[in-house]
Structure 1
Amino acid sequence: MRVWIAHEVGRGLLGELPPGLTVEVCDDAATLPSDPAGVRFWVPPFTSRVRASGLLPKLTGLEVVQLLSAGADNWVDHVPPGVELCDARGVHDASVSEWVLGAAIGSLRGFPAFARAQQRREWAPGGLRPAPELTGRRVLIVGAGSIGRAIEERMAPFGVTVTRVARTARPERDVHAVDELGSLLPYAEVVVVVVPLTDRTRGLVDAAFLAALPDGALLVNAARGPVVDTAALVAELGSGRISAALDVTDPEPLPADHPLWRLPNAFITPHIGGAVSGLLPRAYGLVGDQLRRFAAGEPLVNRVVDGY
């Protein structure tokens, strides 16, 4: 059985594999290691965009696409019927939740402004006005999956009060439905968005969502850029009423002349929430487990099903 993976280093991270598996590295759609028609299990590059690769139609024997990303929004409409699509749920919990915690603390405490002052060689303690803190805040986590749970765990030592929101209510886990956001947002001092990008979540954070937030609230987007209405966000941030920490934007990359760059209450990182040294070991650990399941005829985990 032929398997294509995206990184040479991945070979040594898969663990022991059953006999009969041939692992090849395909990191460039223009230079293929063998006939794509014989590939049954494919691990595309982490940043791959299926529309740009043009490779899927050539993989006529394909049975599984195993992503290295937690989100599958670029793939769900393109993987052919009969091919299982699996995401990397769980792989990015630690790294993304770490980014959220750091971005929230840094934004609340004014670290971006101090970094700009450092570039100017200016000692700027900010006067006598005390900075807000994460400790004791009311935090609303929109997206109650594994990343949301990891964020909650890392925020727990700060004594925050967490409210969880998911697509549907799960009262047994104290999870509210998205339909309840209107009544929850006015009490949220920090809102963390970690939902997948779907037709249901595109534009979820719109002008009404932002207007419902209390003065001084912080929006943290670690999901996908189009989950937030960018024009509405620019308008709300421009008023100075709230602030935002963004690892993702719409458009992405953010053009140099985009107004978001000029807003002092917007902290922006270039979609690096999951880009850490432990990413590939965790990701290929999952790939190795999936290959062993596939070879044994066992059900795969992290399957992306209808209703993603």
Structure 2
Amino acid sequence: MSGRALSRFLAHRAGAFSALVLVALLAAALAAPILAEAMGHDPFAPDLFKRFAPPSAEHPLGTDELGRDLLLRLLYGARVSLAVGLGGALASALIGLAVGLAAAWWGGLVDAVLMRLADGLVALPALPLLIVLAAVDPARIGLPRGALAADLARIIVIVALFGWVKVARITRAAALSILRMDYARAAIALGVSPARLLARHVVPNLAGHVAVATTLSIGAVILLESVLSFLGLGIQPPAASWGAMLANAQDLVFSAPMAAVWPGLAIFVTVVATNFAGDALADALDPKAEARRG
């Protein structure tokens, strides 16, 4: 991002504040093991003598139905939810970038086949299909059951297989426009190899569009992971995720409402912050945005 684009991003107050919130949340999630050691609590070990303890100096947000510290569970859940959001969005962006570039460069039959495949995926009912795929027993395909890394990889792969369409279409449209530019035609006439042309001239000029689409999709992936975990098809216990915390607290809404409020609030804040940051990034990378606001 250039200096001018960075200044436009920082001038977008809501977007800059949202980015700061996301950075702070990511830093807190990464520091969760250090905080757990300092507090002397194991966020995965139940303590039935401390069930539903109110907020205190020992447990700033109280404890859950098994006596585990809610603050630590939230931070460990942030590690999982943010990893799925970032991993799923980046994997989708990479697949979409490759498909979009292939469609734009080769055109013809390749373009038609890839775009019809994208249309077919858009036509499918995404959430029911993702639920069916997430319900497949990992042991049947040789993956360990209940392992956090395997659960993360499974959800990211599922998201990437169906989440690349938007980036592919954006990439294809931008690449077709760039390839019609005089400098791209000159490079082709000079015999520049396709790989060098795409890497040096096409990808850098459409990176902004892909970055905006990827940023905006992070919140959607986090919501999807939360839905799958809420249905018991996502991250499996004892690992913490915001969706799993909501699922565990659904029967405690009246007796212990804060056990559901905190993970729900974390999901809400993160999704809203990613959307605001994505909007700000779109304005920052669009030189015409400032003129339109003026």
The two structures share one fold, judged by TM-score above 0.5 = no
User: Which of structures 1 and 2 has the bigger CA Rg?
Assistant: 2
Structure with bigger strand share is 1
Structure with bigger helix share is 2
The normalised TM-score by structure 1 is: 0.28
